[in-house]
Amino acid sequence: MTEQAIRRSDATLRDTAPVLLLVGSGFRPYREYILAAVSQHYRLWLLDSSEATWQLTYCEGATRVDTRDPEALREAAEALTTSLPVVGVFTYDESQVVFCARLAQDLGLPGSPPEAVSACRDKATTRSVLTAAGVPQPASRTVTNAQEALAAAEEIGYPVIVKARAMAGSAGVVRVDSAGEVADAFAAADGTDALGLSRHEENVLVEEFLTGPEISIDAVVHGGEVTPTVLARKRLGGAPYFVETGHDVDAQDPLLGDEDLMGQLQEIHRALGYVDGATHSEFKLTPQGPRLVEVNARLGGDLIPYVGLLASGVDPTVAAAHVAAGRKPDTTPEFRRFAGIRFLPPERTCEVVEVVVHEERFGPTIHETRVTARPGGRLAPPPEAFLTRYAHVVAVGEDQEQVLADLEAPERLVELRARALTD
C-alpha cells in the first residue's frame, strides 16, 4: 500500500478534522509558533496544568488537569477520545515526554515505547545503552556526592564536565578544570531544578570533556526511519557554564551529507528503540569524529525549529505533529537559506528597568526581535539562574556573511536598561 506524504495546508479545518491531544503549552514567546503552525493541520485539544488563555486562539478546547499526575492525565485523555477523533498525543515539553509516551501506549496511539523515551530522558541510561551498542561515547560516571565526583574526575582526567543527570537546556552543566572546582560544580549540578524534572539517587554525571564545535540535529522518526529536519550550529558563552547564546542554520550545511554523523544518528535511535516521534540530538564534532552529547525525545527548544523553517521552508513542528499522528511527513526543502538567532542573557544579577529595541540599527537581514523580560523582573546569570534572557534577535537571508554581520552585536539592537542587584 502506498503511503501518501503530508504537506502543509492553509485550508480552514473542518469539524471532522483529526484531533491531537497537546500536553503542555509552555512559555508563549518560545512556543506560540508551534501552536500556530500545527493548528493549520490538526484540531488541538490542550491538556495543561494551568488555565488556557492565549492558547485558545489555536485550540479546539482545553482541559485543566495536573499533567504531573499520570492517572489524572489518562482519565482526561480517555474522556476526550470518546467524543473526538483523536489520532495522536503531541508534546514538546521535556517534563511530559515520558508521561505522553505512556499515554499514547495506553490509548493505542502512535509513538515510541515509553522505555525508549525514558532512556533519552536519563542521560546515564543513554550512555549505557549506546556503549553496549558500540556507538562511540565519552567516558561517563554517575555520582552521589562531591567525593565521588572528585574520584570520577581524577579517573577520567581534567577537564571534565559535571552535569545534572536529567535536566535540560544546559541547566546545571559546568566545566571543571581542576580538583578545587569539583565540589562547587557538583553542588551547582545537583541543586539544579529546571522545569521540575525528575531526580535520581545518583543525580550527577561526571564526563570526559569533548573538544570541538557543538551542533544539534532535530529529526522526525517514522516507522524507525530517521529524517533530519534541522541541523544547527550552537553558540555558547558564560564559561565555565554552557550558556546557549545562539544557533545558526545553513540549509546547505555539508554536515547533512556527513556519513559518520548521519550513520551515528541512525544507530543511536535504533539502539534506543526510538521508532516514532521527534528528537533533538546534540553532538560535539571532535578530532576523533562526532560524539553524542545527549538525545532528547522532543522538538528542540530555543526556537531552533522556527529558525530551521526560515532556512529551508520545512516546518519541523508540523513534521513532528504528523508523526505523532502516525503519518509520514514530507521534509523536502522548499528553498535553501541561512538563518540565525541570538539570545541576550544578563551580564549580572539585575532588575529590569526597560528593554529598548533600536530598529534604526537593524541590518537588511534582521527578521524579527522579541523582548522576553518585563520592567521589574529579576534577571541573573548562572549559577543563580539558567535559561535567563531578556530578548532574542532572528536574521535570515541568502548571504551568510550578511546574516552573521547583522547578528554580530545583538545587544546594540535590543538594549537592556537595568538596576544592578547585589543581594
pLDDT tens figures, 327-354: 999 999 999 999 999 999 999 999 999 9
Residue 48 CA, distance from chain mean position = 19
Residue 347 lies in a domain: yes
Question: Does residue 148 sit in the same domain as residue 91?
Answer: no
Mean of pLDDT over the chain: 92
CATH number of the domain that 419 lies in?
3.90.1170.60
Question: Does residue 100 sit in the same domain as residue 166?
Answer: no
Digit-coded pLDDT (tens) for 305-317: 999 999 999 999 9
Number of H helices, E strands in the chain: 12, 19
The CA-based angle 402-392-219, given to 5 degrees, is 80
Residue 75 lies in a domain: yes
Residue 222 lies in a domain: no
Residue 86 lies in a domain: yes
CB burial of 163-181 (b: ≥16 within 10 Å; e: otherwise) equals: bbbbbbbbbbbbbbeeeeb
Q: What burial class does residue 401 get, using C-beta atoms within 10 Å of its C-beta: 0-12 exposed, 13-18 middle, 19+ buried? A: exposed
* DSSP conformational letter for 144: S
Question: Does residue 82 sit in the same domain as residue 26?
Answer: yes
* Orientation of helix 304-312 relative to helix 316-324, angle to 10°: 110
Q: What is the pLDDT of residue 6?
A: 31
What is the pLDDT confidence band of residue 39, given thresholds at 50, 70 and 90? very high
* Domain end call among 150, 177, 208: 208
CA distance linking residue 236 with residue 244, whole number of Å: 5
- What's this model's pTM, rounded to 2 decimal places? 0.92
What is the pLDDT confidence band of residue 422, given thresholds at 50, 70 and 90? confident
What number is the average pLDDT over the span 272-296?
A: 97
Structural domain of 361: 339-423
Question: Does residue 343 sit in the same domain as residue 414?
Answer: yes
CA distance linking residue 92 with residue 252, whole number of Å: 26
For the CA atoms of 58, 61, 65, 70, the dihedral, rounded to the nearest 10 degrees, stands at: -80
What number is the average pLDDT over the span 288-292?
A: 96
Q: What is the pLDDT of residue 4?
A: 26
Q: What is the pLDDT of residue 383?
A: 81
CATH number of the domain that 92 lies in?
3.40.50.20
Whether 199 shows a pLDDT value over 90: the answer reads no
CATH number of the domain that 146 lies in?
3.30.1490.20
Domain count, the chain: 3
Of 149-158, 198-207, 399-408, the range with the lowest mean pLDDT is 198-207
